[in-house]
Structure 1
Amino acid sequence: MSITRFAVPLLAVVALVPVAPAVAAAGGLSWQPCSAVAKGWDSDDQRTECALVPVPLDYADPGGPKIDIAVSRVKATGAKTGAVLLNPGGPGQSGTTMPRTIAASRAGGIGVHHDLVGFDPRGVGYSADLPCDVDFPEPETDKDKAREAAERAAAANQACVDAHRDFVRNLTTPTIARDMDRIRQALGEDKIGYYGVSWGTALGAQYRSLFDDHVDKMLLDSVMPPELSVTEMDDDQATAGENTFHDFASWIARYDAVYHFGTTEPVVAKALLDLRDQHGATVNGMLANPRREWAGLAAQLAALRDGGTAESRKMTTESWDGEPQAFNHFQQTALLCNESPSPRDFDTVWQHRLDRMERLPVAGGYGLYEQLCVGWPLAARPWTFEKGTSPLQLVGHLYEPVTPIGWALRMRDRIGGTLMTVEDDVHGSLASLPCAEAAVTFFDTGQATAKSCPGAPV
């Protein structure tokens, strides 16, 4: 991982020296075409503009060292009434391409009267980053191998923290929320809209808790819980995954004439678990997947049962050609572990995994967040969210395992807002559905909705 940049100078974090501000004049930014200044940017994109916003490395020392936050913009196509800041989640996910993505989606109508503004949070993509090469430990079934992987990752994390302690300890949700407010100021906006997905919903909740007076309207899709615990995240996601397995088995039972696993959910579930006993992880990785994959997976499972082979399923991480990477594992680890009061010792984390697997035999082994914090050297500073008065639209997905619907209900209880329920299991899918029109209406009028929304057909 290296310090990546626009073609104009960015702060090398390791140097910790002030940089010339990106603000060209009061209330204005020095916008340039992203394709001209951002390494690896799509040369066909002539709409998106980029700029840099200088922010304090540490808001407790506002006059101290500065770092740069990369910001992108697709300008409103009609009469502009405001701007909407966007974040795709992660944490660790680049957001500079999100304005273009939203503009091309079913939610693109937001961009008629609003500038669409993306940014790379500190530690990600074109913003100030760290030269830390950190392994991401994959789940292991063997305890000794798991311990070795956890200790290797912990040592790499410790080395990065030791080398860049001020930067790493400021990788928190409140700090990034304060960076967002500096972006608002640089845009010359008194109030700003916000559209956040996944972890971006926690970022939105934090911004609204700190700067409610500067929120125009806020939409949060695939909502995080109001308290961060990577232990509970693993538990809740595994529980949702286990429910998905039983739903999958019920779906296969309805099509027994095609797949021949049985006509009832218990019979199909037993047949699938028996098949897993024969083929191990190959089958287990096919049992709790999104509904849009069910038909293909059921066919593969039937073929495997009948003596065939299953397709190889590789996990991939989105990235651009060359640098910067669109996802930063270390930034994700730092944000989660800096804010989750979860165990730091391997033996406790491993026991939690064993307990989860006994309780949830299909999805209990899927958890990956708790292990990230083994050996994390900094104390946790938990989230603190509060109710606000600015218009707030929450969007939850009824069957989703990544951010289970219960999280949205808990967040609504904590910070308020109106919850729209999408009847699908697709993470952050609102912008791809016809009911994205509700988001356009919300940002244009402030009118939130509590209606349900059909997802894409299975």
Structure 2
Amino acid sequence: MKITRLLGAVLAGLVLVPLVPGIAVAETPRWQLCRDIANRWPSTDERTECAVVTVPVDYAKPDGRTVDIAISRVKASGSREGVILVNPGGPGGSGMELPNSLLRSEAAGIGVHHDLIGFAPRGVGYSAAVACEDDWTQPDPSLSEKEKARFEADRDGRNHQRCVAEDPEFVRNLTTATIARDMDRIRIALGEEKIGYYGISWGTALGAQYRTLFDAHVDKMLLDSVMPPDLDLVEMDRAQLTARENTFAEFAAWIARHDDVYRFGTTQAVVTKALLDLRARQTSRLDAFDGLLTETRRDWASSARRLVALRDGASTLEALPHQEKRGFGWDADQTGFSPFQQTSVLCNDSAGTRDFDEVWTARLRLIELLPLSGRYGSEAVRCVGWPIPAQPWRFTGGSSPLQLVGHLYEQVTPIGWARETRQRIGGALLTVEDDTHGSLDTLPCAAKAVEFFDTGKVSNDSCPGAPTPPA
């Protein structure tokens, strides 16, 4: 068994104290500056404190094994009215630095009257985790595309099974529901009857799960870039790639409006044909070329210039200036990111198929339906060979104040998911007119989040995103 406890080895001497009426006795965290105890914490951070909370590995066995969950805190700068737990998404991502990050954002006002509490979910970063090395043996280049994919799926399945075998009990409990129960243990340790919550991306599913289980302990909850109410990785690929295909159509229309600059044509149809003809002439790096066609709005001008260079004589994409690519969807880089925890949570939670042939058939249907984007699905194949039975989400509504935030043109968590989740669990839906994942805290519209946490006022309005740069 390989369980890491980086902070747990440092923070000792937790004491038992009585909490507020109606809450059982719990261990009170011993706070210390993160820079003094946490590996690689910025030495200039003089505000963020760290501690640990001890939780059961399996909540069905409350007297069994325990592990430590790392938490962080930045105290309210004004009159304190409560706490807000924050999570940046993933799964696999750590929220330890998120309180400090939010205080540098347009949403900084939420930290005036609230302590901001970050945490590293079990399996991530400073919290208890399984250490496991993967085998990255590559398939024989002579194999067909399908057989290469089967080889990789079988290889990854063996990796999964080996990692699960390191600690089956711990990995079986890497679920959204269990992490929501860990959040409630954090609430109890903090001595709070109710908590606020600000979750982004997968953090919205975590919030929906917490509200399902512990609605009476929610003060106010804001969920930005909302996950669907049901998790099926085949359907996830379909929804994300459909949004990506739609982005290409919107990009072509934008280029047509700027024909004086790019000279691809004056209508969407003409530009689409010109770009697809240029695509057909690519002999290498088709994935990078397709990335140019489906970039977010802030990169449209840069992408269009690179396409012009290809059209006008650049022989390959490699000959063009380098453009740094951001991670897509669940693969975005985050501090303390754990790929194995991400796979564990998604596969433990997903009700979708784990059969390679069914996944491959779904891929072929997507390629036929979405000729540009269909081949880039990466989620459905993730759980082939996963050995633990699924524990699907069962979200329900509640009475606590709930603000959902959806992004109209986004590819990572398409706007349809926010609408479906609202139908399932209620709440108000604020629509941001952009295509940027989890961007609320970067926009002036973040003032609505501050108002929500201060007053409980929800919004069903829309607000603009960052403007598209000029052509």
Q: TM-score range by the shorter chain?
A: over 0.9
Q: Which residue of 1 aligns with 2:297?
A: 291
Moved more, 448-457 or 146-155: 146-155
Q: Which residue of 2 aligns with 1:115?
A: 115
- Aligned-partner SS, 2:272: helix
- Please report how far the alpha carbon of residue 288 of structure 1 lies from its aligned counterpart in structure 2 after TM superposition: 1.0
Q: Which residue of 2 aligns with 1:165?
A: 168
- Could you report, residue by residue, the CA deviation over 1:141-168 in whole angstroms, capped at 9, with x for unpaired residues? 9222222211111100001112211011
Task: With the length of structure 1 as denominator, give the TM-score of the two structures.
Answer: 0.93
Aligned mates of 1:370, 1:110 — CA distance in 2: 37
Q: Which residue of 2 aligns with 1:306?
A: 312
Q: Which residue of 2 aligns with 1:439?
A: 449
- Please report how far the alpha carbon of residue 135 of structure 1 lies from its aligned counterpart in structure 2 after TM superposition: 6.1
- Could you report, residue by residue, the CA deviation over 1:410-457 in whole angstroms, capped at 9, with x for unpaired residues? 101100000000000000000000010000000000011111110000
Q: Compared with structure 1, are the counterparts of its residues 406 and 319 closer, same or farther at alpha carbon in structure 2 (3 Å cutoff)?
A: closer
Q: Compared with structure 1, are the counterparts of its residues 96 and 150 closer, same or farther at alpha carbon in structure 2 (3 Å cutoff)?
A: same
In 1, are the aligned partners of 2:4 and 2:131 still within 8 Å (CA)?
A: no
Percent of pairs with identical residues: 59
Aligned mates of 1:50, 1:93 — CA distance in 2: 17
In 2, are the aligned partners of 1:50 and 1:70 still within 8 Å (CA)?
A: yes
Q: Which residue of 1 aligns with 2:436?
A: 426
- Please report how far the alpha carbon of residue 348 of structure 1 lies from its aligned counterpart in structure 2 after TM superposition: 1.6
Stretches of structure 2 that go unaligned for 5 or more consecutive residues are 20-27
In 2, are the aligned partners of 1:137 and 1:372 still within 8 Å (CA)?
A: no
One-letter amino acid matched to 1:327: F
Q: Compared with structure 1, are the counterparts of its residues 21 and 56 closer, same or farther at alpha carbon in structure 2 (3 Å cutoff)?
A: farther
Task: With the length of structure 2 as denominator, give the TM-score of the two structures.
Answer: 0.91
Aligned mates of 1:145, 1:64 — CA distance in 2: 43
- Aligned-partner SS, 2:64: coil
Aligned mates of 2:90, 2:7 — CA distance in 1: 25
- Please report how far the alpha carbon of residue 266 of structure 1 lies from its aligned counterpart in structure 2 after TM superposition: 1.0
- Aligned-partner SS, 1:307: coil
Aligned mates of 1:439, 1:357 — CA distance in 2: 39
One-letter amino acid matched to 2:36: A
Q: Which residue of 1 aligns with 2:416?
A: 406
Aligned mates of 1:112, 1:9 — CA distance in 2: 32
Q: Which residue of 1 aligns with 2:346?
A: 336
- Could you report, residue by residue, the CA deviation over 1:280-332 in whole angstroms, capped at 9, with x for unpaired residues? 33311211111001000000011011112334455667779xxxx62111111
Q: Which residue of 1 aligns with 2:404?
A: 394
Aligned mates of 2:15, 2:231 — CA distance in 1: 35
One-letter amino acid matched to 1:49: E
2:465 aligned with 1:455, yes or no? yes
Q: Compared with structure 1, are the counterparts of its residues 135 and 91 closer, same or farther at alpha carbon in structure 2 (3 Å cutoff)?
A: farther
Aligned residues: 445
- Please report how far the alpha carbon of residue 274 of structure 1 lies from its aligned counterpart in structure 2 after TM superposition: 1.4
- Could you report, residue by residue, the CA deviation over 1:81-102 in whole angstroms, capped at 9, with x for unpaired residues? 0000000001100110000011
- Could you report, residue by residue, the CA deviation over 1:192-250 in whole angstroms, capped at 9, with x for unpaired residues? 00000000000000000000000000000000010111111100001111100000000
- Could you report, residue by residue, the CA deviation over 1:326-354 in whole angstroms, capped at 9, with x for unpaired residues? 21111111111111121112222122112
Q: Which residue of 2 aligns with 1:275?
A: 278
Q: Which residue of 1 aligns with 2:220?
A: 217
- Aligned-partner SS, 1:365: helix
Q: Which residue of 2 aligns with 1:9?
A: 9
In 2, are the aligned partners of 1:5 and 1:38 still within 8 Å (CA)?
A: no
2:103 aligned with 1:103, yes or no? yes
- Please report how far the alpha carbon of residue 8 of structure 1 lies from its aligned counterpart in structure 2 after TM superposition: 4.8
- Please report how far the alpha carbon of residue 4 of structure 1 lies from its aligned counterpart in structure 2 after TM superposition: 5.0
- Please report how far the alpha carbon of residue 275 of structure 1 lies from its aligned counterpart in structure 2 after TM superposition: 1.3
Q: Which residue of 1 aligns with 2:22?
A: none
Q: Which residue of 2 aligns with 1:358?
A: 368
